[in-house]
A and B are shown apart, each in its own frame.
Chain A
Amino acid sequence: MNSDHVIEVRGLTKRFKNLTAVNNLDLNVFRGDVFGFLGPNGAGKSTTIRMLLSLIKPNAGSIKIFGMPLEKNRNEILRKVGAIVEKPDFYMYLSAYKNLEILGKLSGADASKNKIMEMLELVGLDKRYKSKVKTFSHGMKQRLGIAQALLHDPELIILDEPTTGLDPQGMKEIRDLILYLSKTKNKTIFLSSHILREVEIIATRMIIISKGTTQVEGTVDELLNVDKMSVSVEIDRIDDAVVEIKNSKWAEVYKTSVKNEMQFDMLKSDVAELNRYLNDKGFMVGSVVPVRSLEDFFLKITEGGQK
């Protein structure tokens, strides 16, 4: 095993009666990664996270965290893991401080007043430490969720959709906090999300899953910043244009046509040349819309997942 592996998952499968939520999933998270775990709603992200945290038992496959099998070393592993699973829920009848004290003690962490207040200050809740959690807004609970995940100074932080339900300012604060934890505190972060843009901003590596299986995995640079993209060209006399393209060097990158649009899979650097070629042949180009192939792909599976 690669010694830099923090999470190593092989052939992970979870079935609920007739539904296969996660199917033969492999994934690798390395030390220092901000790992984006992307997928549409219902893709199996939360089920996978629950298996990583031993809340759910897999039907098949193996999970190693810090190089140790999860099943046999659960407590030792969880001592070094902080997590938010879906929305952070707390004991509503207790104060923010008391909640953190209880969860800190359960983690075997330093649950002293100083440490708890330090965490509350980090997430901007130090002024509300005495308030009962039932008086908190969703955003405040989300921030308290981050505080409880960090309280025992974990090496690996698993965040399941941490920005869900937050306003744009709240989303930015959480993103900044994740970047701070990654860059300043050298934490490994496993970030689940259904928003590609969010992962793109902060992740170093990512995986996209759909219907419980891996679709793509790699570094964000590899997957998002490649030159190859899907280009949609709006044009007049579409039938003539298609004939012209098929008889040219552009036939190799031509994909299909829909109504008055032609689609190409091509390099970003070639877009201007294609535009000039079509103009030179007397076609009127209305628009050239580049769509990165991964974004296009992700949108398709997201739409599919939401149907």
Chain B
Amino acid sequence: MMTLVLIELQKIFRKWRTYIGFIALFGMTLIVQLALYFTQEHFVQSATRSLSDQFTLQGNFFNGYVVAYLILNAMFIHIPFLIVLVGGDLFAGEATAGTYRMLLTRPVSRLSLVTSKYLAGFAYTFLFILFLLAISLGGSLIFFGSGELIVFKEKIIIYAPSDVMWRMVSAYAYASLSMMTVMAFSIFFSSLVSNAIGPIVTTMAVIIVFLILSAIPVEFLQNLRPYFFTSHLTQWDGFFADPVDYKDLVNSAAVLIGHIVVLYALTAFLFIRKDILS
């Protein structure tokens, strides 16, 4: 299995399209960092306006942690698109290129192939989020320095620098799981067709449709909302609550993992029975 996964990773990382995501992510992060750098005074004033009337604020409220937190908030809409660029191509790319014929006439079971593509897709997703962590947190700490993290929720929470790093890493780890769910959708759709554009568009459409359904104030839909994967994609923010509601986080993670398992099983079931005509 390890050989299969490594082969899939080689195929992913030797394609030009794989790096579009990394380049785009780097560019977007840099733009946000530069924008925040040039507007930091205005940002701090706006963010602390309601507090400064009643409290005396001391410390560095504009720092690498705050920037990394803001970047994760801002980017979470764009990252799925960059993820599905690769996921949508994992099966459909083989069909388009005609390489299924080479691949599936080898002594490798189709189930192993599906599993290796999922694992390679997840490894790519993990590396992608790790890259985001490196440039958003690492880069921001270098440019903006360390300090307290101020988080606006139902209440205003200020975390000491020593209390931030584990929350950041945990949030990014959860973000990996969220994006793996998006990756699983794109791989599933990719296994059904022979053109990568279809799965890319369809996965994004599914995300948008579920977000719209979540927002419609109808009781029936609101009852279903806890089971929509889109309701749990941004739960990484839960690591910045005080106290952290672990039960809620585990529940959200379970819903996402459940989606991944179902999508994987469906892909395997259909792909094993698929006639290769390309």
Within 8 A of A (CB), among B101-135: 101-109
CB–CB B275/A94 < 8 A: no
Q: Across the interface, which residues of A come within 8 angstroms of B16, CB to CB?
A: 93
A180 within 8 A of B: no
Fill in one digit per residue for A81-120: 1 if any B CB lies within 8 Å of its CB, else 0.
1010111111111100010001101111000000000000
CB–CB A105/B3 < 8 A: yes
Question: Contacts A55-B275, A56-B277, A93-B15: A103 and B106 contacting too (C-beta < 8 A)?
Answer: yes
Question: Contacts A57-B273, A91-B11, A93-B14: A148 and B102 contacting too (C-beta < 8 A)?
Answer: yes
CB–CB B99/A90 < 8 A: yes
Task: Place the interface of chain B in its size category.
Answer: 20 to 34
CB–CB B105/A85 < 8 A: yes
Q: Would you give the shortest CB distance from B255 to chain A, in whole angstroms?
A: 35
Q: Across the interface, which residues of A come within 8 angstroms of B7, CB to CB?
A: 102, 105-106
Residue from the list A76, A93, A102 in contact with B107, Cβ < 8 A: A76
Q: Across the interface, which residues of B come within 8 angstroms of A79, CB to CB?
A: 107
Question: How many chain A residues touch the partner (CB < 8 A)?
Answer: 31
Q: Across the interface, which residues of A come within 8 angstroms of B109, CB to CB?
A: 74-75
Count: A-B pairs, CB below 8 Å: 73
B10 within 8 A of A: yes
Question: Contacts A83-B105, A85-B105: A91 and B276 contacting too (C-beta < 8 A)?
Answer: no
A146 within 8 A of B: no
CA distance A108 to B3 in the complex (A): 10
CB–CB B105/A81 < 8 A: yes
A275 within 8 A of B: no
Fill in one digit per residue for A31-57: 1 if any B CB lies within 8 Å of its CB, else 0.
000000000000000000010011111
CB–CB B103/A89 < 8 A: no
CB–CB B97/A55 < 8 A: no
CB–CB B98/A55 < 8 A: no
Ranked 10 nearest A-B pairs via Cβ: A89-B98, A106-B106, A55-B276, A75-B107, A78-B107, A79-B107, A85-B101, A56-B275, A53-B105, A83-B105
Q: Across the interface, which residues of A come within 8 angstroms of B103, CB to CB?
A: 106
Question: Contacts A89-B99, A93-B15, A93-B16: A107 and B275 contacting too (C-beta < 8 A)?
Answer: no
Residue from the list B98, B108, B275 in contact with A57, Cβ < 8 A: B275
Residue contacts A-B, CB under 8 angstroms, 11 given: A53-B105, A75-B107, A83-B105, A85-B101, A86-B101, A89-B97, A89-B101, A89-B102, A90-B99, A91-B11, A148-B102
CB–CB B107/A90 < 8 A: no
Residue from the list A50, A91, A98, A105 in contact with B99, Cβ < 8 A: A91
Contacts A54-B105, A90-B99, A106-B103 supplied; 9 other A-B pairs, CB < 8 Å: A57-B273, A74-B107, A76-B107, A87-B98, A89-B97, A92-B97, A93-B15, A94-B11, A106-B7
Chain B residue with the shortest CB-CB distance to A14? B275
CB–CB B107/A55 < 8 A: no
Question: Contacts A76-B107, A93-B16, A106-B106: A56 and B276 contacting too (C-beta < 8 A)?
Answer: yes
Q: Across the interface, which residues of B come within 8 angstroms of A75, CB to CB?
A: 107-109
Fill in one digit per residue for A121-165: 1 if any B CB lies within 8 Å of its CB, else 0.
000000000000000000000000000100000000000000000
Chain B residue with the shortest CB-CB distance to A104? B106
Fill in one digit per residue for B226-269: 1 if any A CB lies within 8 Å of its CB, else 0.
00000000000000000000000000000000000000000000
Within 8 A of A (CB), among B123-158: none
Chain A residue with the shortest CB-CB distance to B6? A105
Fill in one digit per residue for B81-106: 1 if any A CB lies within 8 Å of its CB, else 0.
00000000000000001111111111
CA distance A184 to B100 in the complex (A): 31
Q: Would you give the shortest CB distance from B92 to chain A, in whole angstroms?
A: 14
Within 8 A of A (CB), among B143-181: none
Q: Would you give the shortest CB distance from A60 to chain B, in whole angstroms?
A: 15
